[in-house]
Amino acid sequence: MKDHNIDACIRILKREVRRWQEPIVGVVAKASRRDPFQILISTVLSLRTKDQTTAEASARLFRLATTPEAMLKVPRRTIERAIYPVGFYRTKARHIHAICRDLLTRYGGRVPDTIEELLTLKGVGRKTANLVVTLGFRKPGICVDIHVHRISNRWGYIRTKTPEQSEQALRRKLPRRYWMIYNDLLVPFGQNVCTPVSPRCSQCRLARYCERVGVVKSR
């Protein structure tokens, strides 16, 4: 992809994304009026879990508690039952309690607003930290999940081996005005068109900009 074409790609994706379901964490952000705690917990639940499962589990969990103090009072077994069948639900239940304890003891019950501080919380990686910063605090960040990593490399826009490398490459190259929306655009695009295996290249409005790096078979 030629550098100047990122503008065209973003314009096209902004139109295309209206046809697809919004990523679950964005839905939680709007429903909770951008409550950083609910965004943080729903993002933890979403890891390695389908959006529909995350949505249902988040709804059940937040009926029990919506603050760190209240959540810590919910027995871990009850949290496990509420969030099942999200991936690694037992581990995530432990992480949720650990996060709540840390928020109460170290941050006065408030979710920190920096990536560096968020990364000190149990079970929080760079993807989660960036989502909380962008969705919860409206601060610049680039959330790189597997879709963002795969598609950015498939386009030829960056050339990296891991999502962590992709985040740093995008921070250097992607215009800052696109940082906060990049994940919201590429996730549904990756779920519906630019799929991991056999992407729908014949239906893709971005095909003329894409170098198709690593694409062996497409539809």
**Catalytic annotation present for 145:** yes
Burial 50-87 (b: 16+ CB within 10 A, else e): ebebbbebbeebbeebeebeebbebeeeebbebbeebe
Residue 126 neighbours by CB under 8 Å, 6+ apart: 115, 119, 144, 163, 164, 167
Choosing from 30, 50, 113, 145, the catalytic residue is 145
48/202 Cα distance (integer angstroms): 28
**Catalytic annotation present for 7:** no
User: How many helices (H) and strands (E) are present in the chain, helices listed first?
Assistant: 13, 0
Choosing from 35, 92, 127, 184, the catalytic residue is 127
Q: Tell me if 23 sits within 8 A of 45, measured CB to CB.
A: no
170/166 Cα distance (integer angstroms): 6
Active site residues: 127, 145
